[in-house]
Amino acid sequence: MRKTNIPNFIWMVLITILISTFAYAGDENTPAPQGEQQAQAISADDMPLFPICVGGKCGYIDRTGKIVIEPQFDWAVSFSEGLAKVEVGEKWGYIDRTGEIVIEPQFDEAEDFSEGQAQVEFGENWGYIDKTGQYVAEPQFDSNCWDFSEGLARAKVGDKWGYIDMTGEIVIEPQFDWASAFSEGLAAVRVGGKWGYIDKTGRYVIEPQFNWTSDFSEGLAPVRVGDKLGYIDRTGKIVIEPQFGWAGTFSEGLAMVQVDRKRGYIDKTGKYVANPQFDEAWDFSEGLAMVCVGDKLGYIDKTGEYIAEPQFDNAWPFSEGLAEVMIGDKWGYIDKTGKYVWEPTN
């Protein structure tokens, strides 16, 4: 076998790189390159936080169970778009991820931020604020006011529903007996007892014809025909025949369906991936779904296998790697192996 000769100048380049590498690694005070510093900062800023309550006050932990915002609020909820609503006294405001109040508690009720705006109640009416706390739509709507979705929010005026844009202007006149949020460019609406779908101009894409419908998700939507539910595509064509007593929206490729009072999961061909066996079941989130057997809740994976046996009195979907669970009146967090990262507390 012929021996390969490496030119001297290449050896010099390699030696220089090695010396620089060891010099950098050996100096603990040497700052990381700017790109790495930015990545570390972004990572810290994006680290998920989870609300907890201790001794009647609420704060936040990170994914490891470490307290990062000391319990100090009367109530606290999860962060959304960088802010979290908290209750102080009997008023609601918003904090940032450092725990600093950025919008003073002043609202009678408040909702999470969605697409840069949040619903708030002041007096008996609802409006919308931006992340500085300034009103983008003064309180003027009935209590039935909803989050923005795909740039529009449904709003009720009198006994009819329509849609507003982010300036608070009505862009689809109130005319529907009920209206759902826009999802995948379409919104389910009810007129005279029948459901159909409109686009963002208010034009019917699927004429009202179903006894009930829900949102489009992953290209399909559950609809009721007679007393059974199936699924349609965006043209209104039935792609999974009505056969279920109940049907949920698709999430991560699977949908919950009910047959003979038991719930299971199907794929987009209508094939069962988990036969109906649960008393209750919810959408998959981060690869896992909550299910109920008897009066206890647990979690399954997409094969139908338990990662946490039914044992909880209440539970919520996985988000950012953790799920909130309750035993009695105490609540904590588990990871995707079913292990506690925050033991249940009051």
pLDDT of the residue at 145: 66
Q: What percentage of the chain has pLDDT greater than the value 70?
A: 86
pLDDT of the residue at 143: 60
pLDDT at 33 over 50: no
Equal fold, 177-249 vs 251-346: no
pLDDT of the residue at 144: 56
| Domains of the chain, residue spans | 177-249, 251-346
> Which has the higher per-residue pLDDT, 167 or 205?
205
pLDDT at 32 over 50: no
Kindly state the average pLDDT of the residues 12-16: 37
Weakest-pLDDT range from 27-31, 105-109, 185-189: 27-31
pLDDT of the residue at 1: 38
Q: Kindly report the three-state secondary structure assignment for every residue of 251-311.
A: ECCEEEEEECCEEEEECCCCCEEEEEEECEEEEEECCEEEEEECCEEEEECCCCCEEEEEE
Q: Which two tokens stand for residue 84?
A: 């979290």
β-pairing verdict for 170-176 and 178-179: unpaired
CA distance 2 to 236: 70
pLDDT digits (tens, 9 = 90+) for 208-266: 999 999 999 999 999 999 999 999 999 999 999 999 999 999 999 999 999 999 999 99
Kindly report the CATH class assigned to 251-346: mainly beta
CA distance 262 to 304: 14
Compute the residue count for the chain.
Answer: 346
pLDDT of the residue at 35: 43
177-249 folds as Thrombin, subunit H (2.40.10)
The angle subtended at Cα 146 by Cα 143 and Cα 147, nearest 5°, is: 145
pLDDT at 202 over 60: yes
pLDDT of the residue at 120: 94
Q: What percentage of the chain has pLDDT greater than the value 90?
A: 78
**Under 8 Å between Cβ of 222 and 247:** yes
pLDDT of the residue at 140: 83
Q: How confident is the model at residue 18 (pLDDT cuts 50, 70, 90)?
A: very low
> Which has the higher per-residue pLDDT, 67 or 137?
67
pLDDT at 56 over 60: yes
- Give, rounded to a whole angstrom, the gap between the first and last alpha carbons of the chain: 74
The dihedral built from the CA positions of residue 124, 127, 132 and 134, taken in this order, carries a sign that is negative
Quick count: other Cβ atoms within 10 Å of Cβ 35?
A: 8
Kindly state the average pLDDT of the residues 69-94: 97
Weakest-pLDDT range from 41-55, 107-121, 195-209, 236-250: 41-55
CA distance 227 to 229: 7
The angle subtended at Cα 335 by Cα 334 and Cα 341, nearest 5°, is: 55
Closest CA to 195 of 209, 185, 184: 209
pLDDT of the residue at 10: 35
pLDDT digits (tens, 9 = 90+) for 267-322: 999 999 999 999 999 999 999 999 999 999 999 999 999 999 999 999 999 999 99
pTM over 0.75: yes
Look-up: residue for tokens 């009935």? Answer: 142
Kindly state the average pLDDT of the residues 168-197: 96
Distances (CA, A) of 185 to 26, 61, 149, 150, 249: 55, 36, 10, 7, 16
Look-up: residue for tokens 């930015």? Answer: 38
Q: Which residues pair with 76 in a beta bridge?
A: 86
Q: How confident is the model at residue 47 (pLDDT cuts 50, 70, 90)?
A: confident
How many helices (H) and strands (E) would you count in the chain?
Answer: 2, 34
pLDDT digits (tens, 9 = 90+) for 131-179: 999 999 888 877 656 789 999 999 888 899 999 998 889 999 999 999 9
pLDDT of the residue at 24: 35
> Which has the higher per-residue pLDDT, 142 or 183?
183
Q: Which residues pair with 238 in a beta bridge?
A: 232
**Under 8 Å between Cβ of 179 and 154:** yes
pLDDT at 7 over 70: no
Average pLDDT of every residue of the chain: 88
Distances (CA, A) of 274 to 74, 241, 315: 41, 18, 20
pLDDT of the residue at 71: 97
